[in-house]
């Protein structure tokens, strides 16, 4: 086969949580542009219409990201089908509403297993292949709540803050292997996050009614009215992946931009106000740069 020298080979994507929302919008977008996809979902029958529409480039696999054996099976399926993985998108996850004191240990652990450890295990499973390839792009779906704490969502914020931290460090660890890392930080988008993908504490505490109740009411009132368009978000993610210099963080939505800017100003205000106290904790001798404890 004679290919144009300017022809770019299609990328192979592995995306989690493709049944609805961001995952589905991104899956449809990458297939429409001619790339290849291993789409995953906990209920793979929900992927049937997508796969039937793109029978030569789309394949589906069951994947519950809390089950390590299914993670390995999904990665193996992608390698068997396509021979490589160019882009891993850790999208699977859900929200949890409840003040910290209200949330059960089981709910906390399940939230972290899905939103954080699932992504970590997938990254660990894919990295040997990407290192061997000498290329790859890991896209982690964070949130505005990965940089900004919201009352009534402390555990959800915790999972996303954790994902932000490992992603930033990971980017430095894998840069020399030709692997890139990008965090996606959406604001409010018209997905099912406010509905099917949102859970609430089972036993509330009256003292937190104005916090937890207000959070639940906000999500209910905003459902279907969010400013963000998932299809536009998918195109923005593709643009970042195709860029020779992709961002470490990509905020999506004017609400995300505004909230993150407010957070940065808040951090700077505290740094400036407490600067004298901050620097007063250094040794005053000339052995600066020597790590001591």
d(CA 112, CA 208) in angstroms, rounded, equals: 22
The catalytic residue among 160, 167, 180, 215 is: 160
- What sign for the dihedral angle of Cα 127, 133, 135, 141? negative
137 backbone dihedrals φ, ψ, rounded to 5°: -140, 125
Exactly one of 11, 54, 142, 167 is catalytic; name it: 142
From residue 25, alpha-carbon distances to 48, 172, 190, 255 in Å are 15, 29, 11, 20
| E strand residue ranges, 112-264 | 136-141, 179-186, 198-200, 249-252
CA 56 to chain centre: 27
Choose, from 156, 167, 180, 215, the residue flagged as catalytic. Answer: 156
User: What DSSP character marks residue 178?
Assistant: T
156 is an active site residue = yes
The residues annotated with a catalytic role in the active site are 142, 156, 160
């Amino acid at each position: 086969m004679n290919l144009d020298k300017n022809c770019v080979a299609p990328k192979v994507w592995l995306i989690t949580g493709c049944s609805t929302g961001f995952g589905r919008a991104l899956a449809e977008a990458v297939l429409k542009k001619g790339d290849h996809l291993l789409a995953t979902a906990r209920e793979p029958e929900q992927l049937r219409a997508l796969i039937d529409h793109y029978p030569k480039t789309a394949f589906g696999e069951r994947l519950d990201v809390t089950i390590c054996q299914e993670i390995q099976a999904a990665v193996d399926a992608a390698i068997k089908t396509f021979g490589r993985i160019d882009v891993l998108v850790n999208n699977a996850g859900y929200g949890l509403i409840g003040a910290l004191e209200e949330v059960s240990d089981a709910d906390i652990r399940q939230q972290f297993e899905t939103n954080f450890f699932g992504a970590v295990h997938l990254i660990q499973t894919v990295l040997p292949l990407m290192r061997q390839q000498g290329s790859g792009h890991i896209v982690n779906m964070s949130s505005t709540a990965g940089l900004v704490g919201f009352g009534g969502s402390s555990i959800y914020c915790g999972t996303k803050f954790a994902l932000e931290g490992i992603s930033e460090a990971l980017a430095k660890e894998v840069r020399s292997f030709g692997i890139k890392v990008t965090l996606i930080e959406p604001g409010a988008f018209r997905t099912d996050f406010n509905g099917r993908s949102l859970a609430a504490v089972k036993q509330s505490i009256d003292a937190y009614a104005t916090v937890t109740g207000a959070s639940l009411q906000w999500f209910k009132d905003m459902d279907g009215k969010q400013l963000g368009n998932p299809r536009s978000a998918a195109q923005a993610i593709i643009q970042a992946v195709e860029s020779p210099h992709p961002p470490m963080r990509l905020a999506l939505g004017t609400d995300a931009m505004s909230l993150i800017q407010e957070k940065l100003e808040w951090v700077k205000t505290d740094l400036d106000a407490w600067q004298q106290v901050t620097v007063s904790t250094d040794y005053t001798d000339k052995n600066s740069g020597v790590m001591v404890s």
